[in-house]
Chains A and B, each alone.
Chain A
Amino acid sequence: MTVAEQLRWARRMLDHAEATTVGVWPRASALLARHALEELLEEFWAVHSPPLASANRRAQMVALRGYPAIADQVAIVRVAYAGLSSGCHHHPYELPPTRAELDGLIAAVEGFAGVVAKIVAVNARSPSEVVGPAKQSERARATPRPKSGR
Chain B
Amino acid sequence: MTAVATPQAQLFDRLIAQGKDAESWAYLVLSACDGEAGLARYLDDGVEPAKPKKPVRSKGKSKDGKETEVPESPRAYLEAIGVRGFRGIGPESELKLRPGPGLTLVIGRNGSGKSSFAEALEVLLTGTSVRWSDKGSRFWKEGWRNLHDGVEPLVRARLVAEGIGQVELTRSWTGDQEVDDGTTVATGTGKKLTDLAGLGWESAVQDFRPFMSHSELASRFEDGPSVLYRALLKGLGLEAFEGIRECLAKAQAARRKQKSEAKDTAKLLIEDAKRIQAVTPDERIAETITLLGAKDFDLDRLGALATGTNTDQASLLSLLAQVAREKGPDVAVAMQTAEGLRFAAKAMRELAAQEAGRSAEVATLLQAALTLTAKTGDTACPVCETPDVIDADWRERTAAEVTRLREAAKALQESQRLQRELERSAQALCGAAPVWLADPRLDEAVAIPAREAWKAWRDGQKLEDADALAAHLEQRAAPLVTAVGSLAAWAEREIAARQDVWQPLAQKLGPWVDAARAAARGQQQVADLKKAEDWVREAIDDLRTERFEPIAARAREYWGLMRLQSNVDLTAIKLEGSGKAQSVGLEVTVDGKPAGALGVMSQGELNSLALSLFLPRASLPVSPFGFVIVDDPVQAMDPARVEGLARVLDQTAKQRQVVVFTHDTRLSEAIKRLQIEAETWEVMRRGNSVLELRKKRESVDAYLEDARALMKNFTKGEIPEGVIVRVVPGLCRDAVEAACVEITRRRRLAKGQAHADVEAELESAQTFNKLLALAIYDDIEKAGEVLKYIRNKWATDGEAVYSGCQTGAHGQFEGDLERFVSRTGTFTGNIRKLS
Interface residues of chain A, those whose CB is within 8 Å of chain B, are: 1, 5-6, 9, 14-17, 20-28, 31-32, 35, 38-39, 88-90, 92-101, 143-149
CB proximity to A under 8 Å, residues B10-57: none
A54 to chain B, nearest CB (A): 12
Which of B284-292, B385-393, B451-459, B802-810 is found at the contact surface with chain A? B802-810
Docked pose: A25 CA to B762 CA in angstroms: 26
8 Å CB contact of B718 from A17, A20, A144: A20
B731 / chain A contacts, CB cutoff of 8 Å? 24, 27-28, 31
B810 & A27 in contact (Cβ 8 Å cutoff): no
A20 & B727 in contact (Cβ 8 Å cutoff): no
Name 13 interchain pairs, CB-CB below 8 A, sorted by A.
A17-B692, A24-B710, A27-B727, A27-B731, A28-B723, A28-B731, A31-B730, A90-B734, A92-B741, A93-B665, A96-B109, A146-B814, A146-B815
B686 & A99 in contact (Cβ 8 Å cutoff): yes
Q: A20-B713, A24-B706, A38-B811 are in contact. Are A15 and B686 (CB under 8 A)?
A: yes
Task: Please count the residue pairs between chain A and chain B whose beta carbons lie under 8 angstroms apart in the complex.
Answer: 145
Which residue on A lies nearest to B729, using beta carbons?
A31
B317 to chain A, nearest CB (A): 99
B687 & A15 in contact (Cβ 8 Å cutoff): yes
CB proximity to A under 8 Å, residues B754-781: 759, 762-763
Q: A23-B692, A24-B709, A28-B727 are in contact. Are A146 and B699 (CB under 8 A)?
A: no
A146 / chain B contacts, CB cutoff of 8 Å? 803, 807, 812-815
A111 to chain B, nearest CB (A): 20
A17 & B686 in contact (Cβ 8 Å cutoff): yes
Docked pose: A35 CA to B578 CA in angstroms: 68
Docked pose: A27 CA to B664 CA in angstroms: 18
Which residue on B lies nearest to A10, using beta carbons?
B723
- Chain B 153-176: CB-based contact to A (< 8 A → 1; otherwise 0): 000000000000000000000000
B687 & A16 in contact (Cβ 8 Å cutoff): yes
**Would you list the 3 A-B pairs with minimal beta carbon distance, nearest first?**
A1-B722, A15-B687, A148-B812
Which residue on A lies nearest to B744, using beta carbons?
A92
Docked pose: A146 CA to B802 CA in angstroms: 12
B108 in contact (CB, < 8 A): yes
B738 in contact (CB, < 8 A): yes
CB proximity to A under 8 Å, residues B441-483: none
A101 / chain B contacts, CB cutoff of 8 Å? 109
A98 & B726 in contact (Cβ 8 Å cutoff): no
- Chain B 674-717: CB-based contact to A (< 8 A → 1; otherwise 0): 00000000101111101010100001001100100110010000
Which residue on B lies nearest to A22, using beta carbons?
B692
A149 & B725 in contact (Cβ 8 Å cutoff): yes
Q: Known contacts A25-B684, A92-B741, A96-B684; can you find 7 more A-B pairs with CB under 8 A?
A: A1-B726, A23-B694, A27-B730, A93-B665, A93-B666, A99-B684, A101-B109
Which residue on B lies nearest to A1, using beta carbons?
B722
B688 & A17 in contact (Cβ 8 Å cutoff): yes
Which residue on A lies nearest to B807, using beta carbons?
A145
Main SS at interface, chain B? helix
B109 / chain A contacts, CB cutoff of 8 Å? 95-98, 101
- Chain B 542-573: CB-based contact to A (< 8 A → 1; otherwise 0): 00000000000000000000000000000000
B45 to chain A, nearest CB (A): 71
B720 & A9 in contact (Cβ 8 Å cutoff): yes
B110 in contact (CB, < 8 A): yes
A93 & B738 in contact (Cβ 8 Å cutoff): no
A17 / chain B contacts, CB cutoff of 8 Å? 686-688, 690, 692
B631 in contact (CB, < 8 A): no
B663 in contact (CB, < 8 A): yes
Docked pose: A35 CA to B733 CA in angstroms: 15
Q: A17-B690, A23-B694, A89-B737 are in contact. Are A5 and B722 (CB under 8 A)?
A: yes
Q: A147-B814, A149-B725 are in contact. Are A90 and B741 (CB under 8 A)?
A: yes
B706 / chain A contacts, CB cutoff of 8 Å? 23-24, 27
A27 / chain B contacts, CB cutoff of 8 Å? 706, 727, 730-731, 734
- Chain B 89-114: CB-based contact to A (< 8 A → 1; otherwise 0): 00000000000000000011111100
A25 to chain B, nearest CB (A): 7
A26 / chain B contacts, CB cutoff of 8 Å? 684
B803 & A90 in contact (Cβ 8 Å cutoff): no
Q: A16-B687, A28-B723, A95-B107 are in contact. Are A35 and B692 (CB under 8 A)?
A: no
B33 to chain A, nearest CB (A): 56
A6 & B737 in contact (Cβ 8 Å cutoff): no
A17 to chain B, nearest CB (A): 4
Which residue on A lies nearest to B726, using beta carbons?
A35
Docked pose: A16 CA to B108 CA in angstroms: 19
Docked pose: A89 CA to B736 CA in angstroms: 10
B669 in contact (CB, < 8 A): yes
Which residue on A lies nearest to B662, using beta carbons?
A95
A92 & B730 in contact (Cβ 8 Å cutoff): no
Docked pose: A36 CA to B108 CA in angstroms: 27
Docked pose: A28 CA to B730 CA in angstroms: 8
B749 in contact (CB, < 8 A): no
Docked pose: A38 CA to B722 CA in angstroms: 15
